[in-house]
Amino acid sequence: MIKKMFLFFAVIFSLVSSTALAHSALESSTPKNGDVMEKVDEVLLQFNTKIEPSSTLTVRNDKGETVSVHATRLDEKTLKGSFSEALPNGTYTVKWKIVGSDGHPIEGNYSFVVKRSEEKQESGMQSANRQPDTIKQQETTSNDEQKESPQKSSMRVIWLAAVLAIFALTGFWWIMRKKGK
């Protein structure tokens, strides 16, 4: 009987741990957080799981103004935003909101800098060579404003499941021992 209970809890634990590790997270981006680029005409975000069609991205310049994203495309794990023309010099913040395959809403942001040399700038463009004061660090947060990474949250669930399994096995062992006396 104890072997059956142990097998039951092992199966439950493996199911809980595999579900917990399925949280979506940003794997890579182009441009990357903190990059200084000469030309940017699209933003590409790659996630570790499939993302839902309701996922969005917005881009803001260093004045806080929203930059028009000409076209947004979603393809399984990739969210891509294109601009009608290359971005002028400045610091830009990309903010994304996705719903992953596990139904968990995730959002985050990161920044990059566009700094083209003077001879490469288009003649009609009026953009100053601005240096960023700071580059914002990438944040990943859930909808309830927790500042915890999906991996950290997953480990917490795994440890909780392990502790519960140990308590259940101990309780079962104690009950079986009492019945035997």
Residue 22, pLDDT score: 59
- Residue 93: CB atoms within 10 A of its CB come to 17
Name the pairing type of β-strands 36-37 and 105-114.
parallel
Do 12 and 74 have their domain in common? no
Would you state the pLDDT for residue 14? 66
Q: Give the structural domain span for 169.
A: 1-23+149-181
88 lies in the same domain as 170: no
Q: Could you tell me whether strands 26-30 and 42-47 are parallel, antiparallel, or unpaired per DSSP bridges? A: antiparallel
Hey, is 149 helix, strand or coil? coil
Residues 159-162: contacts with CB within 8 Å, 24+ apart? 161/12, 161/13, 161/16, 161/17, 161/20, 162/13
pLDDT tens for the chain, 181 residues long, are 666 666 676 676 666 555 455 578 899 999 999 999 999 999 999 999 999 998 999 999 999 999 999 888 999 899 999 999 999 999 999 999 998 877 888 999 999 999 988 655 554 444 444 444 444 444 444 333 333 444 455 566 677 777 887 888 888 888 888 887 6
- When divided into structural domains, the chain yields a total of 2
**Same domain membership, residue 10 and residue 80:** no
pTM over cut 0.85: no
The reply to whether 94 and 59 lie within a common domain is yes
- CATH number of 90's domain: 2.60.40.1220
Residues 160, 74 within the same domain: no
Q: Is the same domain home to 104 and 120?
A: yes
Same-domain pairing of 129 and 181: no
Q: What was the pLDDT predicted at 164?
A: 81
Check whether residue 13 and residue 88 sit in a common domain. Answer: no
Same domain, residue pair 17 and 73? no
Among residues 65, 97, 105, 104, which one has the least CA distance to residue 79? 97
* Same domain, residue pair 108 and 138: yes
Closest to 30 (Cα-Cα) out of 112, 87, 117, 96: 112
Instruction: Say what the pLDDT of residue 140 is.
Output: 42
**Residues 38 and 89 both lie in one domain:** yes
State whether 3 and 44 are in the same domain: no
